[in-house]
Amino acid sequence: MAARLTLSRFILQNFNKPIRCVQRTAPLRKYAVVAGTTEHTLAVRDRIADKRKRALLGGGQKRIEKQHQKGKLTARERIQLLVDADSFVEYDMFMEHDCTDFGMEKEKYPGDSVVTGRGKINGRLVFVFSQDFTVFGGSLSGAHAKKVCKIMDQAMLVGAPVIGLNDSGGARIQEGVQSLAGYADIFQRNVEASGVIPQISLIMGPCAGGAVYSPALTDFTFMVKDTSYLFITGPDVVKSVTNEDVTQEELGGAKTHTTVSGVAHNAFDNDVDALLQLREFYNFLPLSNKEPAPLRKCTDRWDRLVSGLDSVVPLETTSAYDIKDVVNGIVDEEDFFEVMPDYAKNIVVGFARMNGRSVGIVGNQPKVAAGCLDINASVKGARFVRFCDAFNIPIITFVDVPGFLPGTHQEYGGIIRHGAKLLYAYAEATVPKITIITRKAYGGAYDVMSSKHLRGDINYAWPTAEVAVMGAKGAVSIIFRGGKNQEQQEKEYVETFANPFPATNRGFVDDIIEPNTTRKRICQDLEILANKVLENPWKKHANMPL
Amino acid sequence: MAANFAFCSPVRSYKLSRGFGGRLLSIQTLWTRSLYTTGSLTSKDLYWNDRYNENEKQFDKILIANRGEIACRVMKTCQRLGIKTVAVHSDVDSLSVHTRMADERICIGPAPTSQSYLQMEKILDAVKLTGAQAVHPGYGFLSENTKFAAELANIGVQFIGPNSKSIFDMGDKIESKRIATKAGVNMIPGHDGVVENADHCVQLANEIGYPVMIKASAGGGGKGMRIAWSDEETRQAFRLSSQEAKSSFGDDRMLIEKFIDNPRHIEIQVLCDQHGNALWLNERECSIQRRNQKVIEEAPSTFVDPAMRKAMGDQAVQMAKAVGYDSAGTVEFLVNSKKEFFFLEMNTRLQVEHPISECITGIDIVHQMIRSAKGHKLLHKQEDIPVDGWAFECRVYAEDPYKSFGMPSIGRLSRYQEPLHIPNVRCDSGIQEGSEISIYYDPMICKLVTYGTNRIEALDTMKKALDSYVIRGVTHNIPLLRDIITEPKFVAGDITTKYLQQVYPDGFQGKKLSDQETTELVALSSALYISDEIRSRQFTNGSKLQASTDIESKWDLSVNLVNEIYKTTVEKITNGFQVHVGNSTVNIDGQMMFHSPLIETTVDGKPSQLQISKRARGGHYNLRFLGTVFPITVLNNFASEMMKLMPKKKEIDISTVVLAPMPGMLKSVSVEAGQKVGEGQEVCVLEAMKMQNSLTAAKSGVIKKVNYKTGETVSENDVIIELE
């Protein structure tokens, strides 16, 4: 039923007068004098109509039903949900694969196994490709790759994002190296487009083998729970090589990638939910690196005082609180689109708006592992900061960090080089950077978290802020090594350092602000910083620690 | 005489400062600044009938040995009178409202009440340290502790409350009954001993008056208990009950007493001084209770007529005089369907629900308590105490009303907005946005009081107030409160102490929407969705925006409300929307903005309040409507068709996990991984809000994992134990 609905809509959209003309003028054919010419023209029209019809049906009604039974929508249904009504313009509906081996020349589908084109999301341009699982299991043929490359090229040309809806069994094995070449062509474009236009992947079915690297190269990878998988090799190969027993879901399901591997940035309940949420996500992003962060009409007062924040930081400095309470209180309409909410929860990143302007939020989360920085948190934060910097999105950082997580596990894992990524990202970023130290800013982690020293534009401290090399206990054991009156010394240390003054006295923090005024201050500062001009020295590219 | 006291004028429209001297003007300033909690547009001043002598001595400094709303309530009166206040607080309360409101504050210990608010020594130290001349105990904690009052007396500090003797006498059940009987107060009639036989039973029944209750001396749980309305029934009841008692308990001794049918809990507020004067400030109807805790109170009661009011009041005053009472107190009565009332007990403290009495009498009860404690005479005569208008009090608690009418919940008030913009609304609370409702203290958020010239007016205001009350971050009982105040029996005043069980036999399950209410909610959510859509494309920068205005002005939508799909058509019209739902057309006037949790519009000419509890993206909203939160999904028709193809998510099998039903601390965990358990076996004990809850395995099996240890705190729905 639903499939028919889509179809009829597309037929309406695409079948226009000339086609109806064919039917009306059909009886004429018999009497046509210049039979060859007219008949030929009309026959071509028939063929066009026929191909269009077949293209809209993808792999056929049976396969569409099968797709639905699996709880998945068709490539076209997905596009229709993603873009504004009647805004989709399709490219290459007639492109077919050119494989002649294994009898493939007898099985062709107009458009092959992907639907490509452009449309609008809330009135803003977007290029989309949507892999069609009903045609050869969505496998990637040379034609498939060409279609994808074409829209990517055009997206680059005009400066608009590309959204890929992935649902593919993998390479078109019958085409051999042709298919592999196709992947590589896409990879190359992914890399060239990186930092020029936002690229988003939504995994809505299988995505295995080499295919996984395209989503991995894009800025954001989202998944659909229960129906999507991402892995290099499936459970069978895993079993034969390593003798591990693992299910598809455990190996590469949404839960795995959003909580354990950090490959995916979020997962949604089903196809419909994923596509509708993606529309909202899209609203936060600029179209390209040449565009400013989007500004939207805002009814939430920019100078709203957030009285609840005055008591959000507990009096006991070791007690936890939820940094998301701070974020939600400050941003427009409590609307915070969190990225990677279930991975490395000791750091919170995501998009929000301040007085209508898109901003990136980064915050240590005292509720999880005391908000310390570890390998995963550093990598998560670094990638987010770099995205914001690449696309002119101001970064607001909330700091409550006791330091980097110690231990062999972290050291052996390379916390030094991974931690350096976050440091690198912040230091490199030239977008407006506003920092609020809500409580602890200890040690090297203080430097890392968008400090003044890393070109922070505006750095604030709440009255509860403490900027120091380390906590009292550790510090005292070093400063007063072997000292007898430890309690007294700790007290002295706390008096000296457990307050914002050491940082404000040196100008490392611009002001101590009442928490309730934070929103107002940030909105004002963003206004000023909108015209910030700062450029890094010319280089071919930087060599960040990977 | 009239010249002697400042606030004697019965003319309601008087502002406090009118025609009086400089001192009063300053009080007026104080008043308007600190007064309340009450909406600024009240038609008259809250305490229009309060009285005191202009030059009478008053305490300079009062310590309030309590926390939360009642501490704030007492401080407000102190501030109005220019009395300095001292707060005592636990460490977690260091920044709470009552602590910040006081002129001085003393920390008296850690969070648990047994180590802070109940620590007499520490409070006495605080009194000495600050030089407070008097202590107001509020309610609960040390308010009825005779030792505390005595200790204060020892150091020459006045306890603001009744004398120790009356507290002691009224605290003793037998002694209080003895005094009440002596004072001529109605007692629940009964026979002081065992009923001998059926004839004796009938004779006693006639002495007591029907209906009577015949019950087994050894009885319990309703066994061997019968109610009789006539001689014949009495004989039969005696026979059956004694047989039943014999077989059940092996003891057939029977007792008889008056049966209180359709019982109501109605109490009289009394006010006394040290000079033998006693007044009654009318009654309060407190029948709406759950687990013996009051939920909604009103004053006056629909059930009490002037004659009955006077009879109850006179008895309450007799009682107070008999015990030598000298402060504010409450005499509780149980009332049956024949308007007969019987003494239950006397509460020797300021009651939680005192504000409704203040509303209808215009007296500041706290002020009069302070005056009495200072030794002043009451300046009212009984005829100065009116029943002026009607007042309701809803106790807004942080608790889940869907679980046995209220299980405590905790959390941080991420958004909190009292409906004080509405006239005739008073909020007595001790919290604010950002406050934490913790497991250590009473989960009351606020006493929401509304007032009106009559009951309907006060009820209408209450509806609007509850609908406009924004509380986010904790589960609260507004859904239940909002449902009760429009329930026909309640509206008709037809209530008893068994109201909740009778009206909600299967527990409270949320507001049941009528067809018209459903249509309204569906229309409102459609309009909300469209407002959201329009706003989503209002970009004001960016170079490729030529198409940003080409949005339709008519939309077809599908609204999913409680698993029912409604088709709607929305049209944007000037100042609002026209929504077609089925055959009805709903006109919505007003803007729908997402920055405010409260959306006030006009629906078909009538004001309407809708709250966005949560906007979950993808067309999912949680909307609070008529108190209850409804999860609603609004989609365009195509998305709705597509949604039908989506697989239903499997519900998590909760029989394999033991979830924490509420936040609390694990008192004990009695199993470990690998252990076999049987269905219904206790696996751990959760202590929350001073209650111990035994959690059991929902099926037999082997414990897979124990996620928490004894002594750890858990949040609601945390998985404590997993089974294989």
What are the tens digits of pLDDT across the range A168-186? 999 998 999 999 999 999 9
Nearest residue on chain A to B534, judged by CA atoms?
Answer: A122
What's the rounded Cα separation, in Å, for the pair B720 and B659?
A: 6
Quote the ipTM score. 0.90
Measured CA to CA, the distance from residue B282 to residue B331 in angstroms comes to 11
Q: Is A526 on the interface with B (CB under 8 A)?
A: no
Interval A10-37 mean pLDDT: 46
Residue of B345, B487, B533, B722 marked active site: B345
Q: In which region does residue B246 sit, left (phi positive, over 0), alpha (psi from -120 to 50) or beta (all else)?
A: alpha
**By the 8 A CB rule, do B282 and B385 touch?**
yes
CB B703 within 8 A of CB B690: no
- Cα-Cα-Cα-Cα torsion A216, A218, A220, A223, nearest 10 degrees, comes to -50
| Chain A contact for B545 (CB, 8 A cutoff) | yes
User: How many Cβ atoms are within 10 Å of B246's Cβ, its own excluded?
Assistant: 15
A160 in B contact zone (CB under 8 Å): yes
Model pLDDT, residue B2: 39
| Phi, psi for A440 (deg, rounded to 5) | -75, 135
Contact of B321 with B278, CB cutoff 8 Å: yes
Identify the helix (H) or strand (E) that includes residue A490.
helix A486-497
Quick one: what percent of chain B has pLDDT higher than 90? 64
Residue B550: per-residue pLDDT: 55
Distance CA A115, CA A137 (A): 13
CB contact under 8 A, B642 and A271: yes
Q: Is pLDDT of A113 > 80?
A: yes
DSSP 8-state code for residue B64: E
The DSSP 8-state label assigned to residue A256 in this structure reads I
Rounded distance between C-alpha atoms, residue A331 and residue B219, angstroms: 62
Q: How high does pLDDT run on average in chain B?
A: 88
Mean pLDDT of B22-51: 49
The H or E element that residue B245 is part of is: helix B231-249
Q: Which of B678, B688, B692, B684 is nearest to B710 (CA)?
A: B684
* Chain B residue numbers touching A272 (CB-CB < 8 A): 618, 635, 639, 642-643, 646
Q: Are B72 and B146 in contact (CB under 8 A)?
A: no
Model confidence at A97, pLDDT cuts 50, 70, 90, reads very high
In angstroms, what CA-CA distances link A222 with A30, A255, B318? 57, 11, 75
What is the pLDDT at residue B25? Answer: 34
DSSP 8-class letter at A296: B
How far apart are the C-alpha atoms of A370 and A364, rounded to whole Å?
8
- Residue A30: pLDDT band (50, 70, 90) is very low
- A83-87, A397-401, A453-457 — which is least confidently predicted? A83-87
Kindly report the average pLDDT of chain A as a whole number. Answer: 91
Please, what's the largest Cα pairwise distance for chain A? 116
CB contact under 8 A, B413 and A308: yes
Amino acid, single-letter form, for residue B61: K
**Distance (Å, whole) CA B234 – CA B3:** 63
pLDDT, residue A537, reads: 96
CA angle A458/A463/A469 to nearest 5° reads 75
Tell which A residues from 356 to 395 touch B, by Cβ distance under 8 Å: 356
- From B293, B194, B309, select the one nearest B245 (Cα to Cα): B194
B201-215 pLDDT, tens digit per residue, is: 999 999 888 899 888
Residue of B182, B346, B372 whose CA lies nearest to B272: B372
Spatial contact of A362 and A395, defined as CB atoms under 8 Å apart: yes
Task: Give the whole-angstrom CA distance, residue B372 versus residue B547.
Answer: 75
Catalytic residue flag (residue B233): no
pLDDT attached to residue A477? 79
Single-letter amino acid, residue A126 = V
In chain B, which residue's Cα lies nearest the Cα of A227? B647
How confident is the model at residue A303, as a pLDDT? Answer: 96
- In B413-522, beta strands by DSSP E: 415-417, 425-429, 436-437, 444-452, 470-472
Q: Which residues of A touch B639 (CB under 8 A)?
A: 81, 272, 276
Q: In the structure encoding, which two tokens stand for residue A229, read together?
A: 């998988």
pLDDT digits (tens, 9 = 90+) for B357-409: 999 999 999 999 999 999 999 999 999 999 999 999 999 999 999 988 888 88
Cβ–Cβ below 8 Å for B646 and A309: no
Question: Of B545, B612, B642, which to mutate for an interface test with A (greatest number of A Cβ within 10 Å)?
Answer: B642
Catalytic residues of A: 209-210, 444-445
The whole-angstrom separation of Cα B698 and Cα B693 is 15
Q: Is A8 on the interface with B (CB under 8 A)?
A: no
Q: Is the pLDDT of residue B652 over 70?
A: no
Determine contact, residues B285/B384, Cβ cutoff 8 Å: no
**Inter-CA distances, B586 with A186, B568, B570, B633, B637, Å:** 52, 10, 10, 19, 20
Tell me which residues of chain A, numbers 304 to 343, contact chain B at a CB-CB cutoff of 8 Å: 307-312, 315-316, 322, 325, 328-329, 332-335, 337
Q: Is B240 at the interface with chain A, CB within 8 A? A: no
Task: Output the pTM of the full model.
Answer: 0.86
- In sequence order, the 6+-apart residues with CB closer than 8 A to the CB of B487 are B503
Residue owning tokens 């209750």: B213
Q: With a CB-CB cutoff of 8 Å, which residues 547-586 of chain B face chain A?
A: 547-551
Beta carbons of A185 and A210 less than 8 angstroms apart: no
Q: Torsion-angle region of residue A420: left (phi > 0), alpha (psi -120 to 50) or beta?
A: alpha
Both tokens assigned to B315: 């008895």
Please give the pLDDT value at position B77: 96
Query: Can you list the alpha helix ranges (DSSP code H) found in A305-414?
Result: 323-330, 375-390, 408-413
Contact between A516 and A444 (Cβ < 8 Å): no
Q: Per residue in A202-258, pLDDT tens? A: 999 999 888 899 999 999 999 999 999 999 999 999 999 999 999 999 999 999 999
What are the C-alpha distances in Å from B344 to residues A499, B187, B220, B272, B331? 57, 8, 21, 20, 8
- pLDDT above 80 for A34: no
Q: Where are the beta strands (DSSP E) in A265-329?
A: 266-268
A123–B542 C-beta distance less than 8 A: no
Residue B35 confidence (pLDDT) above 50: no
CB atoms within 10 A of CB B5: 16
Distance from CA of B551 to the nearest CA of A (A): 9
The secondary structure of residue A462, as a DSSP letter, is -
Question: How far is the C-alpha of A134 from the C-alpha of A138, rounded, in Å?
Answer: 6
Q: What residue in B sits closest to A277 (Cα-Cα)?
A: B618
Q: What is the pLDDT of residue B37?
A: 41
Do residue A160 and residue B91 have CB atoms under 8 angstroms apart? no
* CA neighbor of B641 nearest in space, from A271, A317, A38: A271
Residue A12 has pLDDT above 80, yes or no: no
C-alpha atoms less than 13 angstroms from C-alpha of B88 in its C-beta half-sphere: 33
Q: State mean pLDDT over B340-355.
A: 94
Query: Strand B444-452 and strand B425-429: pairing?
Result: antiparallel
Count of CA atoms in the C-beta half-sphere (13 A) of B672: 0
